[in-house]
Amino acid sequence: MSSVNDSTTPRRQLRVGRLTKAHGLKGAIKLELFTDDPGRRFVPGAVFTLQVPTGSPWHGKKIELVELRWYNQHAVGFFKDVPDREAAEALAKAILWIDQDDAEQSGEEDAWYDHQLIGLAVVRDEVKIGTIARLEHLPAQDLLIVKTPAGEVMIPFVKAIVPSVDIKSGIVTITPPPGLLEELPEEPDDDDADAAGNNTAATAAPETESESQAEVDGVPGQS
């Protein structure tokens, strides 16, 4: 699943890929594609906005595709101003975004603008648990930040956990694994259990001793 990030630029953008690692010595970089139409998105001359850490020399810059090739069914890109392996390694894990006109109709499945998702009801087992407050776009995956009565929770925006997004009805259905939304009860470890047992025994011992002494004191003929 993917969403369009429209929170930082006037034009909305679509996340279409991620640079994974350098390939060879001539600046090529392996790509993970987030688009069903790479033949349209990844053409020579296509320009992508880079999402990289603020400390990266590529922060705030764009990158232009020279050529897209396929090696053993893996997409590999060659980019302008990336002449060698060292330059390619500096771009590892960068996310690629493209500008998209509002009038453009995306034929890609499971792709939404951020503003389409914010405010939607989040439902689990037909019960509303909260609403989507915002999205966070991370290198590995997107996260839905859901506002609930107990506070905000993070939901990985993947098909296995978010099987249905119905924009028209305003409902996002989730099927989270156990423990994702609730804190699992903690079981005491063996040391805690032993300590509790020892404290109980230590507390009980004086009472037994007092009772025994009372019995001795109360026996006739003792001085």
Q: DSSP secondary structure string, 195-223?
A: HHHHHHHHHHHHHHHHHHHHHHHTSTT--
Same domain, 33 and 70: yes
User: Does residue 87 form part of some domain?
Assistant: yes
User: Does residue 108 form part of some domain?
Assistant: no
Same domain, 83 and 29: yes
For residues 14 and 91, which has the higher predicted lDDT (pLDDT)? Answer: 91
- Residue 102 scores a pLDDT above 80: no
Counted domains in the chain: 2
Q: What are the Cα distances from residue 90, in Å, to 29, 76, 83, 87? A: 10, 16, 12, 5
pLDDT band at 206 (very low <50, low <70, confident <90, very high): very low
pLDDT band at 204 (very low <50, low <70, confident <90, very high): very low
pLDDT band at 220 (very low <50, low <70, confident <90, very high): very low
For 134, counting Cβ atoms within 10 Å of its Cβ (0-12 exposed, 13-18 middle, 19+ buried), the class is: middle
Same domain, 18 and 52: yes
pLDDT band at 15 (very low <50, low <70, confident <90, very high): confident
- Count H helices and E strands in the chain, helices first: 4, 14
Average pLDDT over residues 100-115: 60
- Residue pair 16/6 in contact (Cβ under 8 Å)? The answer is no
Domain that holds residue 133: 118-173
Alpha-carbon dihedral 178, 181, 182, 184, rounded to 10 degrees: 50
Q: Which residues contact 24 (CB under 8 A, 6 or more apart)?
A: 85
* Structure tokens given for 56: 């990266």
Taking the C-alpha atoms of residue 163 and residue 150, their distance in angstroms, rounded to an integer, is 24
- Residue pair 6/114 in contact (Cβ under 8 Å)? The answer is yes
> How many C-beta atoms lie closer than 10 Å to residue 53's C-beta?
10
| 136: CATH | 2.30.30.240
User: Does residue 63 form part of some domain?
Assistant: yes
Same domain, 85 and 122: no
pLDDT per residue as tens digits for the range 45-100: 999 999 888 889 999 999 999 999 998 888 999 999 999 999 999 999 999 988 86
Q: Is the pTM of this model over 0.85?
A: no
pLDDT per residue as tens digits for the range 182-196: 654 444 555 554 555
**CA angle, 173 as apex, 107 and 12 as ends, to 5°?**
40
Taking the C-alpha atoms of residue 170 and residue 182, their distance in angstroms, rounded to an integer, is 24
pLDDT per residue as tens digits for the range 121-179: 999 999 999 999 998 877 667 889 999 998 899 999 888 899 999 988 999 999 988 87
The per-residue pLDDT for 11 is 56
Residue 133 has, within 13 A of its CA and on its CB side, a CA count of 13
User: Does residue 164 form part of some domain?
Assistant: yes
The per-residue pLDDT for 190 is 53
Q: Which residues contact 49 (CB under 8 A, 6 or more apart)?
A: 9, 13, 62, 96, 97, 98, 99
